[in-house]
Amino acid sequence: MASTHLTPEDLGTAIQWKAIEEAHERIRPRIHRTPVLTSQSLNVMAGAELFFKCENLQKAGSFKIRGATNAIFSLSDEEASHGVVTHSSGNHAAAVACAAAWRGIPAWIVMPKNAPAVKCRAVESYGGKITFCEPKVSARTETAARIQAETGARLIHPYDDDRIIAGQATAAKELVEDVPQLDAVLTPVSGGGLLSGTCLGAHGLRAEIRVYGCEPELADDAYRSIKSGTLQPLESSDTIADGLRASLAPRTFAILRKQLAGVLLVSEKEIVETMQLVAQRMKLVIEPSSAVALAPLLRAGGIPGLNQRLRKGRPSARIGIIFSGGNV
């Protein structure tokens, strides 16, 4: 395990490998170990061997159940007794409601009042109690804080939380356990919970793996943050990848600065075409956010030094892609 050689300083985090192993043991009985699928026709298109970690086939439809389950089952009985609260318009909301139901505690979910009806129904189907707020970041956090004060519920932040990051890290851990010789892993990036967890989960098993974040051009805050070396906010975004409209947090940014190989930007057209290609060739329904992690590999030029160019006369690169979810 490579991370034994690395200090928290090197890793950009105090999260130990042991915390990721414990998270994995904690959530293993409750979640799917999702399959790693391959596609010969996509290998040909990418000029590389691709390995798809299918979190779109995960419980509650995305990787978010990993972090939510780890966080909620990490609480002591006393801490859990007043329930949990979070703010999210998407997959994290459903995941917290689902994991809270497994633990038998209430979950208050703050959602913007323009959240899609299908996302609200998912939360309600798991017994989550929705409170609507104005569609602004400040309204979300204020409403969640008010519910915390009123109920004593614990906040389960979508990504700025070590228990969440350790939980999300288990997806990459499983991927590298299944395909040990990976050269690189690509995941989408929004708040950075999955991407920073992927850095930790992959590098904990194999330090040489190059981890890339993939992001819509229309929501390029991670790209700007990494490039400038300072946390850059995302004001708002109309990207079709509705799961990728959040900004990095201090905790995730610190990990990414230390461990990331790069951020790759993707156009809206590429996102839509990649979703269609995956339905046609892989028979999988993936959400736009997931398509973002594959699209850069399908360009004529590929990713410099990784696929396509690397191919000439050398063995193909082995590249993992995390399909983050399937909730369209």
**Binding stretches for its own copies (CB under 8 A):** 32, 35, 37-38, 40-41, 56-57, 59, 61, 125, 279, 282-286, 326
The distance of closest approach from Cβ of residue 102 to its own copies in the complex, given in angstroms and rounded to an integer, is: 11
The distance of closest approach from Cβ of residue 248 to its own copies in the complex, given in angstroms and rounded to an integer, is: 27
Residue with tokens 């990976």: 182
Question: Is the Cβ of residue 55 or residue 161 nearer to its own copies in the bound state?
Answer: 55
CB-based contacts of 91, cutoff 8 Å, min separation 6? 60, 61, 62, 63, 64, 243, 325, 327
Question: Is the Cβ of residue 113 or residue 121 nearer to its own copies in the bound state?
Answer: 121
The distance of closest approach from Cβ of residue 57 to its own copies in the complex, given in angstroms and rounded to an integer, is: 6
Q: Is the dihedral of CA 257, 262, 267, 273 positive or negative?
A: negative
Q: What number of residues does the chain have?
A: 328
The distance of closest approach from Cβ of residue 286 to its own copies in the complex, given in angstroms and rounded to an integer, is: 7
Residue with tokens 């946390």: 231
Question: Is the Cβ of residue 207 or residue 279 nearer to its own copies in the bound state?
Answer: 279
Q: Are 186 and 299 in contact (CB under 8 A)?
A: no
Question: Is the Cβ of residue 65 or residue 255 nearer to its own copies in the bound state?
Answer: 65
Question: Is the Cβ of residue 296 or residue 326 nearer to its own copies in the bound state?
Answer: 326
Question: Is the Cβ of residue 44 or residue 149 nearer to its own copies in the bound state?
Answer: 44
Burial class (CB in 10 A: 0-12, 13-18, 19+), 146: middle
Give the CA count within 13 Å in the CB-facing half-sphere of 38.
12
The distance of closest approach from Cβ of residue 33 to its own copies in the complex, given in angstroms and rounded to an integer, is: 10
Three-class HEC string of 3-69: HHHCCHHHHCCCCCHHHHHHHHHHHCCCCCCCCEECCHHHHHHHCCEEEEEEHHHCHHHECHHHHHH
The distance of closest approach from Cβ of residue 32 to its own copies in the complex, given in angstroms and rounded to an integer, is: 8
